[in-house]
Amino acid sequence: MRMSEQPYTPASAKKLVTFWSPVKLDGYSIYRHDYPPPVFLFEGLLANGLTILAGRPKSGKSWLTLAMAIDAAMQRAFLGRFRIERAAKVLYFGLEEGPARTHNRLRKLLPKPDIQLQNIEFRYTLNPLVDGGAAELNELLRTGQYDLLVIDTFLKVAKAGGHNRDATRSEYAEIAQLQELAQRHKLAIVLVDHTRKMGAENGLDTVSGTTGKTAACDAVWTLRKQASGDSILDIVGREMEDQTLGVRLMTGEPFGWHLIGEGAEVGMSEARQEIVELLKDEAPLAPVRIAGLLRKNAVTIRRLLQKLAVDDVVRKDRSGKYYLTAREQRERANGVNEWDW
C-alpha cells in the first residue's frame, strides 16, 4: 500500500510527519542536499501547503476565495496579476451558504456561463476535523486529484476547546491535520477564518483564536478593510517574501476584487484617498491646485492622478482638471456593504 493510500488516522498522521521529516539529519547533509523549491498554484502568491485567509465579518473574504476558485478553474490570473500555469481542479466547501447563494455569487462574478466551471466541485457539509472531517477530506483528496481546496470557514470544522492551554493544543492539532493533508496530496489549501476585534501590529496576531493556528500553517493572509472602502491584504509565508497588496471590491461591472497597488504603492493609498475625498467635494481641480490644498508634492500628486485615471477612479477634462468618474461616485455613495460577505 502506498503512503497516499493509507487510511487517515492519528497514528498514520504521525507516520506522515516521520516520512516527511526524518528524526535526525546532520547539518552537512542538509547543507549539501538539493531540496525542491515551493510549488506555486498562483505564481509568487499561493503555494502548495496550508494558507489561512483571515478577515473581519463582511470584509469580502468569501468573494475573494470564490474569485480565486474561478480563476484557478479557468486558468486566469488571480487579481489580474498572479498567473497560473494550467486550469486547476478545485474542491470548495461553502459551509456558511447553500447552492442558491453560490448560484447568485457565481453569476455576479461571471456574467456568462463557462464550461470550465465544471473544474470546481462544491460541497456544503463537513464534519469537524477531529470527528471524521479530516478522514473525509483525505478520502476525497485521494480519489479526486485536486489542486486547490477551499474551506469556508474554520469555525464550521473546529471543535470547541477548554481553557487556554488546551485550546492552543486543540487548534494546533486541527490546523496541523490540514497542513499534513496539503503535504500528503501536494495541493494548496485555503482555510477562511476571522480576525480579532482588537487590532494588532502583526498580521499574524490578528487571527482569531490562539497562536496554535498560525504556528501550524504555511502562510497567513489577513484582509483589512480601510475607512476608504479599499482593503489591504497582508501576506506572510514560510517559503516566500512577505507581501502587501492593495485591493478593492468593485460593485459595478466587472464585479469583484481588483488589485490597486503592491508594496510601496499601498502606502500611497492614504494620499489617493485624500485626493478622492477632495475631488468628491470640490471637483474639477487641476493637479497643482490639488497639491496645494493637500500640501503635497506636485509631482507626486500628478503620478497619483495618473494611476487613479488608469484605475477608472478619476478623469481629466479638456482644461486639464480632474474629477471623479460616475462609477466612482456611485461607489462612494453606495459603499460595498450589500456584497460584503
Return the pLDDT at 8: 46
Contact 187, 148 (CB under 8 A): yes
Could you give the angle at the alpha carbon of 189 between the alpha carbons of 16 and 231, nearest 5°?
145
Q: Which residues contact 106 (CB under 8 A, 6 or more apart)?
A: 66, 70, 117
Q: Do 311 and 268 form a contact (C-beta atoms < 8 A)? A: no
- What is the Cα 259 distance to its own chain's centre? 12
What per-residue confidence (pLDDT) applies to 198?
Answer: 54
Q: What does pLDDT average to in each consecutive run of 10 residues of the chain (341 residues)? A: 43 41 82 92 96 92 97 97 97 97 96 95 96 95 95 88 62 91 96 74 62 83 83 90 91 88 70 84 92 90 90 90 85 50 51
DSSP codes joined into one string, 99-159: HHHHHHHHHHH-SS--GGGGGEEEE-----GGGTHHHHHHHHHHHH--SEEEEE-GGGT--
Contact (Cβ atoms closer than 8 angstroms) between residue 54 and residue 206: yes
Q: Please, what are the domains in the chain?
A: 3-26+37-241 (3.40.50.300), 267-339 (1.10.10.10)
pLDDT at 122: 98
pLDDT given for residue 338 in this prediction: 42
In 3-state terms, what secondary structure has residue 188? strand
pTM summary value: 0.75
List of residues 6+ apart from 21 with CB closer than 8 A: none
One-character DSSP codes across 241-279 = --EEEEEEEE-SSS-EEEEEEEGGGGGGHHHHHHHHHHH
Position 317 scores a pLDDT of 94
